[in-house]
Structure 1
Amino acid sequence: MVPDRFGPLEANDGADPLGRAMLAHYRDEPGQLIYRDGADVQDGNVAEFYFSSPASWDRETIDALERVADAEPVLDVGCGAGNHLLWLADRGVDAVGIDASPNAVLTARERGLEDVLVGDMFDLPVPTDAFGAVHVVGTQVGLGRSLAGIRELLVGFARITDDAGVAVVDNYDPMRLEADFFGYRPDPREGIAHRCFHLEFEGERADGERFREVGRTLQFLLCSPARFREATTGTPWTVTDVLRSEAHYRAVLTKSDPKPHR
């Protein structure tokens, strides 16, 4: 198991626009996050996406959290500012968070979450069989950029979960998306598409100086549930349920139940 407590963490000076936006919002400091794809710009909606009240969450979000809570301890991969970790903590669930953004992790810690660390989901700094469940939402598995890349991520999630492991991941179904979906890139293959954009944060330092931080371009693979099932081939995982909310879906994977619910 990972340590119960993690050491002090300072704000990171590297390019981390999303994390900086979370930290600024929590500290009530000025700043704006945007998504940019060429000339197209979309507001980052930090408050809505990372600090919303559970009362505003859809049923699929709660269902997914309940699935992993039943298989604790839980690793929340890409935990961000810790919203889902707080929900789990309120219910006494043993959970640890990990995020590639040092400033997101700092935000989560300032919100009172102690078991949160900086780490890369492609090389999880977690012992084998340490968790009963992994929760990976925010369409992060799409950063695998191909079905083979997603398969590698799933193999990594299998390593750190026990024999009765449960995983919840999410993505967008290209079969249900409009062509004007932000950052959308078509693909000739059925059930496959791509999404590209980068994040920019404009903030203000303590001395009043304005600054702008630009993140790297993010490239996501979008795949239908049927294509996602292909990515589980050769892994210990079986998709046992799909929780849909319009074009977005969450796939529930298990090691112990080879028979899909649907």
Structure 2
Amino acid sequence: MPPDRSERTDAADPLGRAMLAHYHDEPGRLVYRDGTDVQDGNVAEFYFSSPESWEPATIEFLERLADHEPVLDVGCGAGKHLLWWAERGVDAVGVDASPNAVRTARERCESREILRKNGNATERGLEDVLVGDMFDLPIEPSTFGAVHTVGTQIGLGRSLAGIREVLTGFARVTDDAGVAVVDNYDPTRLDEEFFGYRPDPREGIAHRCFHLEFERETEDGKQRRDVGRTLQFLLCSPARLREATAGTPWEPCHVTRSDGTAHYKMMLKRE
């Protein structure tokens, strides 16, 4: 039976609701939708995976960022990286545009009793996890030594100029010795079977479009579907991402590719 109630607004927050429902062990299903194409959201795998399942390169980047603490995790989701840092005594703060993702991350930290007690957050006027927009970070200048943003969120800049704007914002909130880690998909290693793929005539450039839907049962027993806005990502090769750093204080210094995939991570340092 199809859901009899749907909500499609900027406040629908299907991804955040899916994270919170999963954490509370409540039923529901998250999907990515592009027209008639549907892909499972894999909430447990993407947002609640344990460090034992992470690639060695992921741990390496987290350790390198920890050397520059405090760390700002932009788009922190359910907080799996925040938990990794906190359990190792690393000063880290998360920010996410989803209120329900922030609530999930806070509850996970509180359940493990690892929220910071040392007063640094109070001195900076920050909480451990806060709601905020990547394009207008609610952070004071030069607050952090490192920025971490994965999940190809940098692509939400939608163009090289848009990515440059995001990177400039990251530079504002880091100190002069700051570092950052970002990621993306290299379209030179993709084909049109990639979910949400949109080609572009430019070498090393493509696009990706889809929206998220979360189906769940409400307290009155009815089915409800939360439908998010359409997300548009710029996919760019490492060479193109290097172009986007031009005119910013960032200099690419290290690229790591996931084994057998088009996914890569790039580490940046302040010039």
Same fold? TM cut 0.5? yes
Whether 1:247 aligns to 2:262 is: yes
The residue number in structure 2 matching 1:214 is: 227
Deviation (angstroms), 1:208: 2.3
**1:152 matches 2:165:** yes
Residue in 2 that maps onto 1:76: 73
SS at 1:121's partner residue? coil
Aligned-partner residue type, residue 90 of structure 1 = E
The residue that corresponds to 2:5 in the other structure is: none
- Secondary structure at the aligned position of 1:111 is classed as helix
User: For 2:130 and 2:143, how far apart are their aligned partners in 1?
Assistant: 15
Structure 1 residue 134 and structure 2 residue 147: aligned? Answer: yes
Displacement of 1:206 after TM fit? 2.6
What RMSD over aligned residues (CA atoms) do the two structures have, in Å? 1.1
- How many residues align? The count is 244
Q: Residue in 1 aligned with 2:93?
A: 96
When normalised by structure 2's length, the TM-score is 0.88
1:234 corresponds to 2:247: yes
Q: Which one of 35, 40, 45 corresponds to residue 43 of structure 1?
A: 40
Counterpart CA distance in 1 for 2:57 and 2:230 is 29
Which consecutive residues of structure 1, in runs of 5 or more, have no partner in the other structure?
1-12, 257-262
Tell me which residue corresponds to 1:8: none
Partner of residue 64 from structure 1, selected from 21, 40, 61: 61
Deviation at 1:14, TM superposition (A): 2.8
Counterpart in 2 of 1:85?
82
Further displaced range: 45-54 or 106-115: 106-115
TM-score under structure 1 length normalisation: 0.91
Q: Which residue in 1 is equivalent to 2:179?
A: 166
Once the two structures are superposed, the pairs formed by residues 21-36 of structure 1 within 5 Å of their partners are 21-36=18-33
Please state whether the residue corresponding to 2:61 is helix, strand or coil.
helix
Paired-residue identity, %: 77
CA-to-partner distance for each residue in 1:157-181, whole Å, 9 max, x for gaps?
A: 0000000000000000001112200
